Structure 1
Amino acid sequence: MMPRSVHLVIPCFNEEKRLPFAELDELLRREPGLHLAFSDDGSSDGTAARCTDLAHAHPERVLVHVASKNGGKGEAVRQGMLAALQRWPDAYYIGYFDADLATPLTEAFHLLEAGAANEPVIIMGSRVQLLGSTDIKRSTARHYMGRVFATLVSMQLDVPVYDTQCGAKLIRADQVEALFNEAFLTRWLFDVELLWRCMAITGRERLGEAVKEVPLTVWHEMRGSKVKLSDGIKVPLALMRVARHYRGRVRI
């Protein structure tokens, strides 16, 4: 039986007014297997203080890591994952969920139960609408931009992938250091870099075994995204830069 325990990093930047701290406190009381690591990316508001208050209420299950300066979401996730591994070395999977909570944190248990049977290195939440079984609410523009992006990534990696950018992922704890020890090249394409790093470990032929995509049951698009649709024009060049950096590491 799969252990009902998950360890999640939540990258934060000026989220004092958006993070539902009272709801998080209630959730932690209701779910004894939930552990949270807030990775504050140099916020200028009271985010770190509010997270620290939550840590004082749940000292064994809440960690707060504060960066000395803003480094972008990828760096916040990277530092948070390493801090979580150091704090909870016996964790089975350590994941990260976006601070907007478009995906409820309880979905992490669903990802673990549905995806960890063969112990893949990465379990990726996938925002795919399945008739009668999922509640995925996403704007049409972002949906189609996501499909174009996924197609570009699939062509580059030469493996089929539906949704690289969903902010709900679990990483097998024994591979966290190998995947996150090196700083990422990009602020917002670090999810793609993770796949390249995983492929460098497993080889291209075994990437399909090492990565498991699991359809989320709930995902509601939230306002306030720090990534704009106009940023899409920068994606092809950024993907080329990522590919050039990692391609030489991959075993065919």
Structure 2
Amino acid sequence: MFVPVHPPNANLSDAMTKKRFDSILKIAVAVLGFASVTWSASSAQAVEGTELTSRKAIWAPLLPTYQGDSGDSVGFLTDIRGHHRFEGYRTSVEGNFTYAVSDNTEMYGFDAIMRDTWTFGVHDLSAGTGYSQMEWKQEIGDNELDNSYRGALVVAGWETVFGRRPVWVDLRLGLYDLDGKYVGNDGVTTGTNNKFTTTFGVDVKHDITVCGIPGRTVLGIDYLSDYATWDGANMGFDDAVVLKAGFELLLY
């Protein structure tokens, strides 16, 4: 009978991943709990007119193993978002630029979306679609692995009041053309791959006021069905998860 053989560092890697994941969850719960106790809330409603916000968040990409590294890391995310709803119409246009970085991973992204909103009492339902792009870069020992996602983003939203607190739920479905590329530190060893892939995401927000400035706390998770990998000789694909916890403040 064959007995599976595990790499000598497998248990250590699993333990480190579990420890990091537990720490991230604790941070996320702490951020939301602190916000709900400390900051005052306002009424939930669909955004009217023009809004410009900026988000600051803890960012935790849980990526496939690369160059002997588990791929899990914790870093920082910032973005700037713009929203304009046309007066007298249910249609709005949205756009955002995102930048995130950890010890060995960097990501920037851009979305441009058109969304329609319908109001039912205290509830607002919305749906829309648009263009989306994400550029990922991992660099360890001057070996670089890039993942480029370009395609369409389908969004749906629900704004309501739960327990006298306004709650926003945003759902995302990404439909992307994924290009993966590896370049070794010798400049000679390279690899590429390509495929159609999907991503799934959800953000949960609630309105707050910080020192008189309106804003929202944000907890989010994204699932990437495919992420290009390099095993030392060949390109491949594996899935990935990204966690986010922070807040966004109204700039305009």
Task: Classify the TM-score, shorter chain.
Answer: under 0.3
The structure richer in strand per residue is: 2
> What TM-score comes out, normalization by structure 1 length?
0.25
The structure richer in helix per residue is: 1
Question: Which has the higher relative contact order, 1 or 2, with Cα contacts under 8 A spaced 6 or more apart?
Answer: 1
